[in-house]
Amino acid sequence: MCEVPRRTFRHAITPQRVVVLIVAVAAIWAALILPDRTIGLALLVLGIGALFAAVLFPAIRDVEFGFPSGVKVRASLEDRQEELSRAFTAQKGDFSLCAQLLCPEPEIATTLLEAAWSQTASEWRGPVTANLRPYVLCVFVHLLESHAKWAGRASTLETQDAAPLNPLLLLTLPARTVVVLREFAHLPLAEVANITERPLADIAADLRDAQATLAFGPKDGRR
């Protein structure tokens, strides 16, 4: 299954935030020991403001977390959604190419891709990093497999009439998924195996057979 990053503050800890945290704590400590109440109050406000504005709020924004009761705490939610949207838009061409190569029906491919992104935006935890890309592709692959199953189509999804336009359709869906994720999405074979929930040896065999079937030529040696 597609794995959502665990809720953890580890990746929210950055050198800049550590420095600001130290400065904020020092300011608060100085405010408590200084005899001058005016200066102390100013340092206290400055320290607390820096602690929340530059450390706690950004960290919470990066890591969505919840209490056992199910009440979720979110900071700058709108900004986070905009960041996710920008990440998807930046990679939309890549996602669309993979979707169209995997699915023989363009309209369905587009619909499933939009659904994959919607699920990703709802389920994703943690900061927007490069890990978001394989997750979107993983969700799309599983949605496509479900569509093929419940639409009553054969697992091969062969469309002979469309073969000249997309030779990949000569392959079974599992084999086509391996080729697209490896050769077009450039994912490591181990990650392809994880997404498709199949043994790595089977993934490598599918890739070799597909290259022979479609006359892709010898492998380029990527791992």
- Residue spans of the domains in the chain: they are 10-73, 77-213
φ/ψ (deg, to 5) at 5: -55, 140
What is the pLDDT, as a whole number, of residue 140?
Answer: 96
pLDDT at 32: 79
- State the CB neighbour count (10 A cutoff) for residue 15: 7
pLDDT for the residue numbered 27: 77
What's the confidence (pLDDT) of residue 205? 95
pLDDT tens string 116-174: 999 998 888 767 788 889 999 999 999 999 998 887 654 444 444 444 567 888 889 99
pLDDT of 26 above 50: yes
**Residue-level pLDDT at 165:** 63
Which pLDDT score, from 0 to 100, does residue 169 have?
84
- Mean pLDDT in residue range 26-45: 79
b/e sequence 27-64, b meaning 16+ C-beta within 10 Å: bbeebeeeeeeeebeebbebbeebbeebbbebbbbbbb
* CATH superfamily of domain region 77-213: PhyR, sigma-like (SL) domain (1.20.140.160)
Q: Which of 20-24, 82-86, 103-107, 204-208 has the lowest mean pLDDT?
A: 20-24
